[in-house]
Homo-oligomer: A and B are copies of this chain.
């Protein structure tokens, strides 16, 4: 599995939802950081963000207390795991949850429990 820096898996939900253990592990790795969990939980909430029409990067600096480059890194990580979607509007990036990553790990977990 390669580094997050030269990001790799944007693990396509190939033809179906099955992802293989490497792909599932990649999504779990994206979920294995408290700051990223905080970000995802915030995206899942009904918060509107500082611009009133979505959550952008500066909102996430506020709620995590992390620097802008660090947030950018975390969002790239979540994108590569298909846990979020990003859309550029003006100079802002707006983020939303992407169900594909969540479904992939839930499918694995259901095999176990």
How would residues 12 to 47 of chain A score, 1 for a CB under 8 Å from any chain B CB and 0 otherwise? 000000000110111011011110111011011000
Q: Is the interface of A mostly helix, strand, loop or mixed?
A: helix
Q: Nearest CB to that of A37 among chain B residues?
A: B21
From A48-56, A65-73, A86-94, A104-112, give the one contacting chain B. Answer: A104-112
* B97 & A44 in contact (Cβ 8 Å cutoff): no
A48–chain B nearest beta-carbon distance, Å: 18
Q: A25-B31, A32-B29, A32-B32 are in contact. Are A41 and B112 (CB under 8 A)?
A: yes
Q: What residues of chain B lie closer than 8 Å to A40, measured between beta carbons?
A: 112
Extra A-B contacts (5), CB below 8 Å, given A29-B32, A41-B112: A25-B34, A28-B29, A28-B31, A41-B108, A106-B113
